[in-house]
């Protein structure tokens, strides 16, 4: 519920309306999660949505997104690594942290619990926290016990039998036998219990009471790719620094090769002995492990710095990190021609983007818009890989037709003075940049209306934006222009004409 609130901006609704999340279950839309307001008004999870709406007509409803919830939980669990390296997430809504040996860093267990509560409250999450000797016990206490827990053993004994997480039949059987809490079961002999409900139920019970300890499956934390060198004497000579770069890059290449990864971004941090820090960052289009390639890009980066790199009295430490990586298979010794060409082109794009900036070299991709100035988007070539088939990108023009879209487009369109028939006539003569052009051939009008669905009240006539009438004209000298009239005579008194683009 909190994830929904934090991540998805709610549509405008009455601020005091109760919010519920629904999911499809047993053939009907049922409430899967409800907020405090809905709870107070008497709803409960599992109620069909139709019933809930009948009770509270002003209910705000949204879909339950389980995948997003899992992702959010995994992110939270990774964030919990600041308290302990052994963290596991328990879907759908739990996190287990193994705090053996870390309590003293946060001022004892109580201090640690307080820190966690504060952090979670800061993120807007309501959490139930409990600590115990075994992971299963902690989980059960957090889910079922009344918090805060002062006496662990007593609290465990007071847990309801639902804490064992057996199936409904077993729960029913236990209730019929008159056993309501864990304490009741624990005081009975174990062997008949195991015979009736199975060995797994018995081990669940023993994990709760602390007789058995099961390790948690912690989230794997991949070791950061960080390679550093510290120098006893500060080094400032260019050759020494270059040699250090090369050494760090070879070490990084070996580690990346072990993991089967290639780096996309490389960051060098140089610490000067007087405390100043320099950072150099290079980015590549394709993942790479090649030290020579990264060194060449670093040379470009250093050459394009505004201030030259000044070692001062020398560098104390140089560190290389590889923040962004991608899987990279081992290079085949013989690349075929196509892959070699691709690699060379990628290297050229890397080099030029490092020198001129990533936005300097672009690929133009089509946008789904009929407005001419929004028909394409310029994406940096270093981030946007080459399309698989070029025919997918821009549609093939019909054969036999001259170009219907101009080669160059002015941004903004340039105003021109036009002589034309009212209301729909084509331009006969126009003046642009103080030169008069006589129109010999023309095609049009191509009517391009504004995007009325994007405007407030655009569906009403007259409020959808001005319509443009485009004409493809050629003058006596053979120059071809794309001219439009901004607005119809019915829409606007005295519409203006503009030159939008030039054809070949």
Partner 1 sequence: MRFAAALPSDSVLADSPAAPLRRWPSGCAGLDAALAGGFAYGRVHEFYAAEAVDAAAAAGFVGAIASGMAPGTAVLWLRSQRAARAAGVIQANGLNELAAAGHGLIGVAPDDMALLRTAADAVRCAALGAVIVEGWGAMRELDLTASRRLALAAAKSGVPLLLLRMEAEPVPSSAQTRWRVGPAPSRALPGNAPGRPCFEIELLRQRSGPFGLGWQVEWDRDRGKFREASSASLGGALSGAVVSVPAGGAVAGAGSTGAQAA
Rounded CA gap, 200 and 208, in Å? 12
> How many CA atoms are closer than 13 Å to the CA of 457, on its beta-carbon side?
3
Question: Per-residue x/- marks for partner 1, 359-388, CB under 8 A?
Answer: -xxxxxxx-----x--xx-x--x----xx-
- Assess 434 for contact with partner 1 (CB under 8 A): no
- Terminal Cα-to-Cα distance of the chain (whole angstroms): 58
Compute the residue count for the chain.
Answer: 504
- Assess 420 for contact with partner 1 (CB under 8 A): yes
- Assess 394 for contact with partner 1 (CB under 8 A): yes
- Assess 448 for contact with partner 1 (CB under 8 A): no
Cβ-based nearer residue to partner 1, 287 or 425? 425
Cβ-based nearer residue to partner 1, 100 or 422? 422
Could you tell me where the beta strands, DSSP code E, fall in 99-249?
Answer: 226-235
CB atoms near residue 494 (< 10 Å)? 6
Rounded CA gap, 73 and 169, in Å? 31
Taking CB under 8 A as the criterion, the residue among 185, 297, 439, 470 binding partner 1 is 439
- Assess 144 for contact with partner 1 (CB under 8 A): no
Are 451 and 386 within 8 A, CB to CB? Answer: no
| Part in contact with partner 1 (CB under 8 A); list of ranges 19-27, 123-131, 290-298, 421-429 | 421-429
Cβ-based nearer residue to partner 1, 158 or 381? 381
Strands 19-25 and 60-63: parallel
Using a CB cutoff of 8 Å and minimum separation of 24, what contacts does 193-199 make? 197/166, 197/170, 197/173
Residue carrying the six token digits 């999911």: 23
Cβ-based nearer residue to partner 1, 96 or 439? 439
DSSP states of 20-34 as a string? EEEEEETTEEEEEEE
Q: Which residues contact 124 (CB under 8 A, 6 or more apart)?
A: 2, 5, 6
Cβ-based nearer residue to partner 1, 101 or 478? 478
Cβ-based nearer residue to partner 1, 278 or 363? 363
Q: Which residues contact 379 (CB under 8 A, 6 or more apart)?
A: 362, 363, 364, 365
Residues 484-503 that bind partner 1 (CB under 8 A): 485, 494-497, 501-503
Residues 457-476 that bind partner 1 (CB under 8 A): 472-474, 476
Taking CB under 8 A as the criterion, the residue among 224, 390, 456, 460 binding partner 1 is 390
Residues 332-361 that bind partner 1 (CB under 8 A): 340-342, 344-345, 347-349, 351-352, 355-356, 360-361
Quote the least distance from Cβ 502 to partner 1, whole Å: 4
Taking CB under 8 A as the criterion, the residue among 222, 400, 457, 461 binding partner 1 is 400
Residues 9-28 that bind partner 1 (CB under 8 A): none
Cβ-based nearer residue to partner 1, 67 or 504? 504
Are 102 and 112 within 8 A, CB to CB? Answer: yes
- Assess 423 for contact with partner 1 (CB under 8 A): yes
- Assess 421 for contact with partner 1 (CB under 8 A): yes
Cβ-based nearer residue to partner 1, 35 or 469? 469
- Assess 422 for contact with partner 1 (CB under 8 A): yes
Residues 94-133 that bind partner 1 (CB under 8 A): none
- Assess 419 for contact with partner 1 (CB under 8 A): yes
Report in angstroms the alpha-carbon separations of 50 from 39, 61, 288. 17, 11, 56
Q: Which residues contact 445 (CB under 8 A, 6 or more apart)?
A: 424, 426, 469, 470, 471, 485
- Assess 405 for contact with partner 1 (CB under 8 A): yes
The strands making up 28-34's β-sheet, listed across from edge to edge, are 28-34, 19-25, 60-63
Quote the least distance from Cβ 362 to partner 1, whole Å: 5
Rounded CA gap, 119 and 125, in Å? 9
Q: How many residues bind partner 1 (CB under 8 A)?
A: 78
Cβ-based nearer residue to partner 1, 251 or 446? 446
Taking CB under 8 A as the criterion, the residue among 176, 215, 411, 493 binding partner 1 is 411
């Amino acid at each position: 519920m909190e994830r929904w609130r934090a991540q998805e901006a709610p549509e405008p609704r009455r601020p005091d309306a109760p919010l519920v999340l629904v999911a499809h279950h047993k053939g009907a839309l049922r409430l899967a999660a409800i907020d405090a307001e809905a709870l107070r008004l008497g709803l409960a999870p599992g109620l069909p949505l139709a019933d809930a709406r009948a009770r509270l007509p002003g209910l705000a409803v949204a879909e339950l997104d389980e995948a997003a919830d899992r992702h959010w939980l995994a992110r939270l669990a990774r964030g919990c690594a600041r308290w302990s390296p052994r963290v596991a997430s328990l879907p759908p809504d739990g996190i287990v942290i193994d705090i053996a040996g870390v309590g003293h860093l946060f001022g004892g267990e109580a201090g640690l619990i307080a820190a966690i509560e504060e952090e979670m409250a800061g993120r807007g999450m309501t959490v139930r926290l409990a600590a115990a000797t075994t992971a299963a016990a902690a989980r059960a206490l957090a889910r079922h016990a009344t918090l805060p827990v002062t006496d662990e053993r007593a609290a465990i004994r007071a847990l309801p039998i639902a804490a064992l997480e057996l199936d409904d039949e077993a729960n029913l059987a236990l209730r019929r036998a008159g056993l309501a809490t864990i304490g009741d079961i624990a005081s009975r002999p174990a062997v008949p219990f195991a015979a009736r409900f199975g060995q797994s139920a018995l081990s669940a019970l023993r994990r709760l009471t602390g007789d058995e300890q099961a390790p948690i499956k912690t989230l794997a934390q991949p070791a950061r790719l960080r390679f550093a060198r510290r120098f006893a004497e500060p080094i400032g000579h260019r050759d020494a620094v270059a040699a250090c770069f090369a050494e760090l890059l070879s070490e990084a290449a070996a580690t990346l090769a072990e993991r089967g990864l290639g780096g996309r971004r490389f960051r060098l941090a140089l610490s000067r002995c007087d405390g100043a820090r320099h950072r150099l960052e290079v980015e590549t289009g394709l993942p790479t492990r090649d030290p020579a390639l990264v060194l060449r890009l670093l040379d470009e980066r250093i050459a394009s710095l505004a201030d030259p790199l000044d070692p001062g009295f020398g560098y104390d430490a140089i560190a290389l990190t590889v923040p962004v990586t991608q899987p990279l298979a081992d290079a085949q010794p013989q690349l075929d021609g196509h892959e070699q060409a691709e690699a060379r082109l990628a290297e050229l794009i890397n080099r030029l983007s490092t020198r001129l900036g990533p936005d300097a070299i672009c690929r133009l991709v089509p946008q789904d818009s009929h407005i001419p100035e929004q028909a394409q988007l310029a994406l940096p070539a270093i981030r946007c890989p080459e399309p698989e088939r070029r025919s997918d990108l821009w549609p093939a023009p019909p054969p036999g037709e001259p170009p219907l879209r101009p080669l160059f487009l002015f941004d903004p369109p340039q105003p021109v003075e036009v002589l034309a028939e009212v209301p729909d006539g084509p331009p006969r003569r126009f003046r642009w940049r103080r030169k008069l052009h006589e129109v010999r051939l023309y095609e049009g009008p191509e009517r391009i209306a504004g995007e009325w669905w994007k405007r407030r009240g655009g569906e009403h006539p007259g409020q959808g934006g001005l319509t443009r009438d485009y004409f493809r004209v050629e003058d006596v000298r053979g120059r071809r222009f794309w001219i439009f009239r901004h607005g119809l005579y019915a829409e606007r008194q005295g519409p203006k004409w503009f030159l939008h683009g030039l054809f070949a």
